[in-house]
Amino acid sequence: MAYHHGDLATALVQAAVDLGREGGPAAVTIREATRRAGVSPNAAYRHFPNRAALLDATAAAIQQGLAAAMTDAPNRSPAARLQRIGAAYVDFALDEPGWFAVVFFGIRPPDPATVRQAPAFVALTAALDDLVAAGGLSAERRDDAAWACWATVHGFAELCLRGPLAGVGRAEQRRRAEVAIHAVIAGIQLDAG
């Protein structure tokens, strides 16, 4: 195959996003992404020096979609937005387990500094900032609240994907997710006074 492509980096990431959807991080390879983009494997190295770089770009693209789903209700109260953000996160994990695995279980786990810059975490902290501004959460506890919220939805998603809630129907998973999300939001708001 010859290298003839207008925006190869974007094409490779899109191919890798599709691969991740189908089979998680293990399915994202330079060889398969280049095959799907219609170029030789060597062409990819002009944009991605290794598989880890392609996987990082793929995770970033998937995170943009997750963040968009999490922020689709901007006119709600801060607590209602947090509820929506948590539900969108769990829905994403259950609807797109391959993508969920790419984002969180790729070659190397993301460090806290990287997570803080991820679009989904930014959406969460923006809603928490609004909760602080509304008096529903103390500013000193905002960072801890962000990790508590993230841990709740992430852990719940894992219970549904690979844990004891895997065999429970989707409607029941969703109901239990709503209860867990509501409980963490109520818990962080207790600290406001």
DSSP 59-101: HHHHHHHHHHHHTS-TTS-HHHHHHHHHHHHHHHHHH-HHHHH
What is the token pair recorded at 123? 């959406």
Q: How many Å apart are CA 193 and CA 190, to the nearest integer?
A: 7
CATH architecture of 8-52: Orthogonal Bundle (1.10)
**C-alpha distances in Å from residue 148, one per residue of 47, 56, 86, 109, 169:** 37, 25, 11, 19, 26
Supply the pLDDT for residue 68.
85
Supply the pLDDT for residue 109.
66
Q: Which of 72, 20, 15, 71 is nearest to 39 (CA)?
A: 15
Supply the pLDDT for residue 73.
65
Across 118-139, average pLDDT: 92
Q: Give the distance, in angstroms, between the CA of residue 168 and the centroid of all CA atoms in the same chain.
A: 23
Contact (CB, 8 A) for 51 and 32:
no
Share of the chain above pLDDT 90, in %: 70
Supply the pLDDT for residue 2.
42
Residue 164 has pLDDT above 60, yes or no: yes
Supply the pLDDT for residue 1.
42
Write down the CATH number for the domain with range 59-192: 1.10.357.10
Residue 107 has pLDDT above 90, yes or no: no
Residue 188 has pLDDT above 90, yes or no: yes
Residue 193 has pLDDT above 60, yes or no: no
Residue 132 has pLDDT above 70, yes or no: yes
Per-residue pLDDT reduced to its tens digit, 17-75 = 999 999 999 999 999 999 999 998 888 988 999 999 999 999 989 988 888 888 876 67
Residue 5 has pLDDT above 70, yes or no: no
Q: Where are the domains of the chain?
A: 8-52, 59-192
